[in-house]
Amino acid sequence: MDAEIPPGGIVVVIDVIRAFTTAAVAFERGVTEIACAPSAEVGRGLRRLYPDRLLVGETDGLKPADFDFGNSPFEMSTAQLDGRRLIQATSNGTLGLARCPDPAALLAVSARNVGATARWIAGNHADIPCTLICTGRTAEDWACASYLGDLLDGSAPGRADLVTGIMDGAAEHAHFYAQLSASERVDLSRDLRFCCDVDRSEFAMVGEVRKDHVVLTKVPC
């Protein structure tokens, strides 16, 4: 995410593997809001302010020892989360949200809620320019951006192409992790089926910019 973001437009921040897939599954499980922090340290500071909230996320892909959960949609799918509020801190997705200081609207998206995100934009801000931000450099975020762009243009993109892009991105991640020591590697195997489940979540994740973080809420679409 290197491009300058024009102020006053719609900004959609994309992180398929895994931040915003994790967030979508958390909302499916009954989470009421997610405070997205730009770093683990900001996340820890928020938890000191709000000790009742669960702290989830990763540093270099791995769960820090003092976090309640990692950046894993699989973990979210088995957790008791109904009515809880989360703090999420990740290397790419939540950091990307924090770099959008003055949008007309700010949204977080993965393949899991891409269709709902397109519907929310069309229903609320159809005439405002939209910037799509890929927070990673691997294929899955670019595939999701292309799919969302086609939806916003009124096209009917193929889900199979999006899933192929996600799997290509997963292979890129695996190639990178294979070069690391065993203790530094991230196992994505349990998370990929959640990342590839296109349009399972029928809600947009809409952000409200705060002083040092962004609060996501679920908006059914």
> Under a CB-based contact definition with an 8 Å cutoff, are residues 203 and 33 in contact?
no
Asked if the structure places residue 218 within a domain, the reply is: no
Sign of CA dihedral 181, 41, 217, 102: negative
In a domain, 105, yes or no: yes
What is the structure's pLDDT at 2?
54
Residue 35, pLDDT above cutoff 70: yes
Q: Tell me what pLDDT residue 17 has.
A: 98
Please indicate, yes or no, if residue 213 is contained in any of the structural domains: no
pLDDT grade for 56, boundaries at 50, 70 and 90: very high
Task: Band the pLDDT of 99: cuts 50, 70, 90.
Answer: confident
Greatest Cα pair distance in the chain: 49
In a domain, 146, yes or no: yes
**pLDDT, position 100:** 85
pLDDT more than 90, % of the chain: 94
Confirm whether 109 is domain-assigned.
yes
pLDDT of the residue at 9:
93
Residue 1 has pLDDT above 80, yes or no: no
**pLDDT at 8 > cutoff 90:** no
Amino acid 6: pLDDT: 74
Q: What is the pTM of this model?
A: 0.97
Residue 82 lies in a domain: yes
End-to-end CA distance of the chain: 27
Bridge-based pairing of strands 10-14 and 130-134 is parallel
Q: Report the pLDDT value the prediction gives residue 102, as an integer from 0 to 100.
A: 86
Q: What is the pLDDT of residues 141-195, one digit of tens each?
A: 999 999 999 999 999 999 999 999 999 999 999 999 999 999 999 999 999 999 9
Q: Are strands 214-220 and 33-37 parallel, antiparallel or unpaired?
A: antiparallel
| CATH number of the domain that residue 162 is part of | 3.90.1560.10
Number of domains in the chain: 1
Residue 214 lies in a domain: no
Provide the residue range defining the domain that includes 27: 10-208
Residue 98 backbone dihedrals phi, psi, to 5 degrees: -70, -15
pLDDT at 3: 59
**Would residue 215 count as lying in a domain?**
no
Closest CA to 13 of 95, 74, 70: 95
Supply the mean pLDDT for the chain. Answer: 96
Residue, of 101 and 144, whose pLDDT is higher: 144
| Alpha carbon distance 197, 191 (integer Å) | 10
Q: Are 196 and 163 in contact (CB under 8 A)?
A: yes
